[in-house]
Amino acid sequence: MNRGLLSVSHLQALPLSLTLLMFLVFPIAVIIIVSFWDYDSYQLIPGFILDNYQYLLTSSVTWQAYLNTFKYAISTWLITLVLGFSIAYYLAFHIRTTRMQTLLFMLCTIPFFTSNIIRMISWIPLLGRNGMVNSFLLSTGLIEQPLEFLLYSDFSIILAYVHLYTLFMVTPIFNTMMRIDRRLIEAARDAGAAPWQILLMVIVPLCKSGILIGSIFVLTMVMGDFVTVSIMGGGLHASVGLIIKNEISLLQYPAAAASAVVLLITVLIMLMVMFRLVDIRKEL
Amino acid sequence: MSGKGLVELVSVHKSYGNRPAVTDVNLRIPSGAYCCLLGPSGCGKSTTLRMLAGHEAVTEGDILMDNRNVTLLSPTQRGTAMMFQNYALFPHMNCLDNVAFGLRIGGMKTAERHARARELLALVNMQDYAQSFPDQLSGGQQQRVALARALITEPDVVLLDEPLSALDPFLRIKMRKELKSIQQKLGLTFIHVTHSQEEAFALADLAVVMEGGRIQQIAEPRELFEQPATPFVAQFIGGHNLLTAQPGARQNDQVQLHFDPQGSGWIDSHRLPAGQGELSFSVRCDHIDLQPGQHPAAAGQFAVTASISDIEFQGQFIYVECTTSTGNTLMAYLPDRHFGQLPLHAGDLVTLSWSAQHLNLFQPQHLNSTAQVAQPAMAI
* B187 and B260 together in one domain: no
DSSP string, B134-196: GGGS-HHHHHHHHHHHHHTT--SEEEEESTTTTS-HHHHHHHHHHHHHHHHHHT-EEEEEES-
Helices (H), chain A: 2-20, 26-34, 51-58, 60-89, 98-109, 116-121, 124-127, 132-139, 154-178, 182-190, 195-198, 204-206, 208-224, 227-232, 240-249, 253-277, 280-283
Mutation target among A190, A198, A278 for the B interface, most CBs of B within 10 A: A190
Report yes or no on B1 lying in a domain. no
Neighbour order of strands in the sheet with B60-65: B19-29, B7-16, B60-65, B68-69
Are B82 and A193 a contacting pair at CB < 8 A?
no
On chain A, the residues whose CB falls within 8 A of the CB of B86 are: 181, 183
Report yes or no on B2 lying in a domain. no
Higher pLDDT, A159 or B376: A159
On chain B, the residues whose CB falls within 8 A of the CB of A194 are: 105
Are A186 and B84 a contacting pair at CB < 8 A?
yes
* B245 and B373 together in one domain: yes
Q: How far is A52 from chain B (nearest CA, A)?
A: 48
Residues in chain B whose beta carbon is closer than 8 A to a beta carbon of chain A?
Answer: 53-55, 74-76, 80-82, 84-86, 88-92, 101-102, 104-106, 149-150, 153
Are A192 and B55 a contacting pair at CB < 8 A?
no
Report yes or no on B262 lying in a domain. yes
Residues in chain A whose beta carbon is closer than 8 A to a beta carbon of chain B?
Answer: 181, 183-184, 186-194, 197, 201-202, 205-206
For B172-196, the pLDDT digits (tens) are 898 899 999 999 999 999 999 999 9
Domain boundary among B204, B226, B248: B226
* B212 and B269 together in one domain: no
Distance CA A257, CA A262 (A): 9
Q: What's the domain count of chain B? A: 2
* B237 and B102 together in one domain: no
On chain A, the residues whose CB falls within 8 A of the CB of B88 are: 181, 183-184, 186-187
Report yes or no on B194 lying in a domain. yes
**CATH number where B253 lies:** 2.40.50.100
Averaged pLDDT score across all residues of chain B: 86
Q: What residue ranges of chain A have pLDDT lower than 70?
A: 1-6, 280-284
Answer for the pair B211, B39: CB distance below 8 angstroms, yes or no.
Answer: yes
On chain A, the residues whose CB falls within 8 A of the CB of B97 are: none
β-pairing verdict for B34-38 and B189-194: parallel
* B213 and B247 together in one domain: no
Q: Is the pLDDT of residue B214 over 50?
A: yes
Answer for the pair B266, B259: CB distance below 8 angstroms, yes or no.
Answer: no
* B123 and B137 together in one domain: yes
β-pairing verdict for B7-16 and B60-65: antiparallel
On chain A, the residues whose CB falls within 8 A of the CB of B92 are: 205-206
* B244 and B155 together in one domain: no
DSSP H or E segment with residue B86: none
Helix axes A51-58, A253-277, angle to 10 degrees: 60
B170 residue type, one letter: F
For A88-133, the pLDDT digits (tens) are 999 999 988 889 999 998 888 887 888 888 888 888 888 888 888 8
Are A191 and B105 a contacting pair at CB < 8 A?
yes
For B122-153, the pLDDT digits (tens) are 988 898 999 999 999 988 899 999 999 999 98
Distance CA B254, CA B250 (A): 6
Q: Which of A192, A197, A202 sits opposite B90 (nearest CB)?
A: A202
Name the 3-class secondary structure at A222: helix
Give the domain extent around B257: 231-379
Domain boundary among B182, B199, B226: B226
pLDDT band at B49 (very low <50, low <70, confident <90, very high): very high
* B366 and B219 together in one domain: no
pLDDT band at B35 (very low <50, low <70, confident <90, very high): very high
Q: Quote ipTM for the complex.
A: 0.77
Q: Is the pLDDT of residue B104 over 60?
A: yes
Distance CA B331, CA B309 (A): 10
- Find, in chain A, the residue whose alpha carbon is nearest to that of B75: A190
**CATH number where B28 lies:** 3.40.50.300
Size of interface A-B (CB pairs under 8 A): 60
Q: How far is B208 from chain A (nearest CA, A)?
A: 24
For B334-375, the pLDDT digits (tens) are 887 776 677 778 888 888 889 888 888 887 765 444 333 333
* B81 and B138 together in one domain: yes
Domain boundary among B226, B257, B283: B226
* pLDDT at residue B373, as a whole number: 34
On chain A, the residues whose CB falls within 8 A of the CB of B82 are: 186-187, 190
Q: How far is B211 from chain A (nearest CA, A)?
A: 25
On chain A, the residues whose CB falls within 8 A of the CB of B101 are: 188, 191, 193, 201
Domains of chain A, start order: 24-57+239-277 (no CATH), 65-237 (1.10.3720.10)
pTM (2 d.p.): 0.79
